[in-house]
Amino acid sequence: MNVFITGTDTGAGKTHFTAAVLRACGRRGVAAIGMKPIASGAEETPAGWHNEDVAALRAAAPVAAPDADINPYLFALPASPHIAAAAAGVAIDIDVIEAAYRRCAAQAGVVVVEGVGGWLVPVTADFLVADLAARLALPVVMVVGVRLGCINHALLSARAIAASGRPWLGYVANVVEPDLQALPAVLDTLERQLPGPCLGVVNWRDEESLGRAAEALVDALTAPSADPEPR
């Protein structure tokens, strides 16, 4: 089964978690590819334009794929896709993204698609990240960037995902603010208020807890009955 990784906001830890899922697939011998259909914020290097998120997914994936399929759209401006694309004079074509996804899906047993920003970020003037997940017919995992204000962001995002009708596979609590006051109470609130399951709590920069959360998702993706709808 393939999956769409979204987050409560930019910097929630989507790439960190997506790369860990790809590495977990590799450890199990599961053929997997990571996609970042749209990435904004790139710098020019002698080897071409470079984006850290795209590079991280490429390095973590056990199956290689062409750069144009891993990341169909890359923009220099670190902004919402519709703004970054307009600045570059580019029109994002959803058909191009879907075709790249289909090619990846034909090569791998698992494709992990990482969104950009949060669930309702505009991809074009009239097409959201949520619409992209629906277009690709993917179930969703949400990465909660655990910091001050995250409860509101998490609950709003979860309700929007539910309203979209996308199958929900769970959430990951990624502690990006380790000094957050009342952290145990925040985590408890997320567990009580969000639809389960919690795939894991990732402690700040702790590879062990990150690995456990990634393994929990791979368990779900590779279970014999794990395909909520046809691809």
Interval 40-97: pLDDT, tens: 998 888 878 889 999 999 999 999 999 999 999 999 999 999 999 999 999 999 999 9
Cα–Cα nearest to 220, from 7, 14, 28, 9: 28
Report the relative pairing of strands 122-124 and 127-128 from DSSP bridges: antiparallel
Q: What is the pLDDT of residue 104?
A: 98
Given 16, 23, 36, 166, which residue is catalytic? 36
Whole-number pLDDT of residue 136: 98
Backbone angles phi, psi at 96, to 5 degrees: -65, -45
- pLDDT, residue 229, reads 53
Residue 107: what pLDDT? 96
Rounded CA separation 88/94 (Å): 17
Task: Quote the pLDDT of residue 48.
Answer: 81
Q: What is the pLDDT of residue 204?
A: 86
How many Å is the Cα radius of gyration of the chain?
Answer: 17
Residue 155 has pLDDT above 50, yes or no: yes
Integer angstrom CA distances of residue 169 from 39, 41, 193: 24, 29, 15
H-helix or E-strand containing 43?
Answer: strand 43-45
Find, among 57, 192, 202, 99, the residue nearest to 144 by Cα.
Answer: 202
Burial class (CB in 10 A: 0-12, 13-18, 19+), 182: exposed
Q: What is the mean pLDDT of residues 170-188?
A: 97
Q: What is the pLDDT of residue 228?
A: 52
pTM: 0.94
State the chain's mean pLDDT as an integer.
95
Share above pLDDT 90 across residues of the chain, in percent, rounded to a whole number: 91
- Residue, of 11 and 224, whose pLDDT is higher: 11
Res 205: pLDDT: 84
Domains of the chain: 3-222 (3.40.50.300)
Higher pLDDT among residues 166 and 230, named by residue: 166
- Helix/strand number for the chain, H first, E second: 9, 12
Q: How many other CB atoms sit within 10 Å of the CB of residue 208?
A: 8
Looking at residue 45, its pLDDT comes to 85
pLDDT tens readout for residues 15-29: 999 999 999 999 999
Question: Using one digit for the tens of pLDDT, what is the confidence trace for 88-123?
Answer: 999 999 999 999 999 999 999 999 999 999 999 999
pLDDT at 231 over 60: no
DSSP-derived 3-state class of residue 15: helix
* Model pLDDT, residue 230: 42
Q: Beta strand 48-50 with 122-124: parallel, antiparallel or unpaired?
A: unpaired
Query: What's the rounded mean pLDDT across residues 185-208?
Result: 95
Query: What percent of the chain is modeled with pLDDT above 70?
Result: 97
Task: Say whether 14 is catalytic.
Answer: no
